[in-house]
């Protein structure tokens, strides 16, 4: 085939070209060239990630491993270090009153990769996954790039999905239902009975329930948030996702985890071996040290988040008086509705310029054209203390779109 005939062939968009840009990347572009007054510095509530380094002891453990352990610089097991898998299984058992085995636990390069591996093990081209909206945008992005159709499940006024509605969306192509609790972006903590109902639905229909509990360490409830792990056959249905990033400030080290059946982990191992070969050794060493030494410290981190949640709820009447609504609040997030006629995606960029506030519009968490997204915003408040939250609300209350 000559060059001219090859260039004349029709070209389809690549998977990445057909996938929307990451909202975090897109929102950072809004800051380019913007100078914020000294009297009104930027309040960044766009991203849900710790902004500080891990505790000194954890950093020291990583540093010592880097200097003294040759294996810390070499390839390791595809599914993670045995000691970390065993320690996480023990921690899950303590938290959920369960009997999870190390062979049912895998370590990944972040929780996003845990989700990607789950989808790779479940789905073929054109399969479907039911996902509540507002959705976590990276979940939707990966489904698009994997050639899997994301089937949106609308939530109710309390920002929780209904199993009966999910049941109506199941088709012969459905492979899984995805839940995130505490929820990203809405912050809502799903009741144990609701999670159980989705588990029962998935099991009855032969589907997987992918339960992303990245923010479980910051749940306001005491005790296990659900009883799924106490079911003797939990691993036939449940794929539990977790992240060490939020708990121990290890975002840059990319350490996530999966709990599911050993049989399914065998399938995921093929994906993980192809993509990263193994999780980073130093990050795993840090995560293990955190599990073994930082539970009291983590309890303090959780209390800080709960204090900020309280500041959101106690201060919100100032915005409510201006027509704003608080739709959900918990873990790292508040999800709100604005009172303006303009769309949230346009208002978001005006907020950067006029109020020195960066937060993500609901359009980034909803299917294209869904009108609800145009009225909504996510506030990621984990890096804003109660005083900063009060200042944020002052600026939003004073804001009028141009």
Same domain, 192 and 245: yes
In three-state secondary structure terms, 149 is: strand
Same domain, 267 and 348: no
Sheet holding 333-337, edge to edge: 325-330, 333-337, 376-380, 360-361
376-398 in b/e form (b: 16+ CB < 10 A) is bbbbbbbbbebebbebbbeebee
pLDDT number for residue 6 = 54
The whole-angstrom distance between residue 220's C-alpha and the CA centroid of its chain comes to 17
**CATH number of the domain to which 242 belongs:** 3.40.640.10
Q: Could you list the residue range(s) of the whole structural domain that residue 30 is in?
A: 18-47+297-398
pLDDT number for residue 48 = 81
pTM of the complete model: 0.93
Residue 25 pLDDT > 90: no
Q: In this predicted model, what pLDDT tens digit does every residue of 189-236 receive, in sequence order?
A: 999 999 999 999 999 999 999 999 999 999 999 889 999 999 999 999
pLDDT number for residue 367 = 94
* Domain assignment present for 181: yes
Q: Where does a domain end: 254, 276, 293?
A: 293
By percentage, how much of the chain surpasses pLDDT 70?
Answer: 98
Q: In this predicted model, what pLDDT tens digit does every residue of 77-89 receive, in sequence order?
A: 999 999 999 999 9
* Domain assignment present for 12: no
Same domain, 151 and 222: yes
Distance CA 397, CA 229 (A): 44
Q: In this predicted model, what pLDDT tens digit does every residue of 52-111 receive, in sequence order?
A: 899 999 999 999 999 999 999 999 999 999 999 999 999 999 999 999 999 999 999 999
pLDDT number for residue 55 = 95
Distance CA 370, CA 113 (A): 28
Q: Where does a domain end: 273, 293, 313?
A: 293
pLDDT number for residue 22 = 84
Phi, psi (rounded to 5 degrees) for 209:
-105, 110
Distance CA 45, CA 23 (A): 13
Q: In this predicted model, what pLDDT tens digit does every residue of 117-162 receive, in sequence order?
A: 999 999 999 999 999 999 999 999 999 999 999 999 999 999 999 9
* Domain assignment present for 347: yes
pLDDT number for residue 220 = 95
Helix axis angle for 386-398 and 344-355, nearest 10°, is 110
Structure tokens at 27: 């929102």
CA dihedral 287, 290, 292, 293 (to 10 degrees): 160
Q: Where does a domain end: 293, 324, 355?
A: 293
């Amino acid at each position: 085939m000559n060059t001219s005939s090859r260039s004349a062939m029709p070209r389809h968009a690549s998977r990445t070209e057909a996938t929307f840009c990451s909202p975090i990347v897109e929102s950072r572009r809004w800051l380019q060239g913007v100078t914020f007054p000294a009297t009104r510095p930027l309040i960044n509530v766009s991203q849900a990630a710790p902004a500080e380094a891990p505790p000194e002891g954890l950093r020291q453990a990583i540093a010592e491993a880097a200097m003294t352990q040759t294996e810390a610089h070499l390839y390791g097991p595809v599914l993670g270090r045995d000691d970390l898998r065993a320690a996480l299984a023990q921690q899950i058992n303590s938290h959920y009153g369960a009997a999870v085995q190390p062979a049912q636990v895998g370590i990944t390069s972040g929780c996003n990769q845990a989700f990607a591996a789950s989808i790779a093990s479940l789905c073929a081209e054109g399969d479907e996954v039911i996902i509540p909206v507002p959705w976590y945008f990276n979940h939707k992005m990966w489904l698009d790039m994997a050639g899997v159709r994301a089937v949106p499940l609308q939530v109710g006024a309390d920002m929780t999905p209904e199993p009966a509605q999910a049941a109506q969306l199941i088709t012969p192509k459905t492979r899984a239902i995805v839940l995130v609790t505490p929820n990203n972006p809405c912050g809502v903590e799903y009741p144990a009975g609701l999670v159980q109902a989705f588990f029962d639905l998935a099991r009855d229909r032969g589907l997987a329930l992918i339960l992303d509990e990245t923010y479980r360490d910051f749940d306001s409830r005491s005790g296990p948030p659900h009883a799924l792990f106490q079911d003797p056959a939990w691993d036939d249905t449940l794929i539990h996702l977790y992240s060490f990033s939020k708990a121990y400030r290890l975002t840059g080290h990319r350490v996530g985890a999966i709990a599911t059946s050993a049989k399914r982990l065998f399938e995921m191992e093929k994906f993980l071996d192809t993509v990263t070969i193994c999780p980073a050794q130093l990050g795993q060493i840090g995560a293990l040290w955190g599990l073994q030494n930082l539970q009291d410290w983590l309890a303090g981190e959780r209390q800080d988040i709960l204090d900020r949640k309280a500041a959101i709820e106690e201060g919100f009447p100032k915005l409510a008086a201006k027509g704003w609504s608080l739709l959900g609040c918990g873990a790292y997030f508040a999800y709100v509705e604005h009172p303006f006629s303009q769309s949230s995606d346009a208002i978001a960029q005006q907020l950067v310029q006029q109020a020195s506030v960066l937060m993500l519009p609901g359009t980034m968490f909803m299917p294209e054209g869904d009108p609800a997204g145009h009225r909504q915003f996510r506030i990621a408040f984990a890096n804003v203390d109660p005083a900063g939250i009060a200042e944020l609300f002052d600026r939003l209350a004073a804001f009028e779109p141009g």
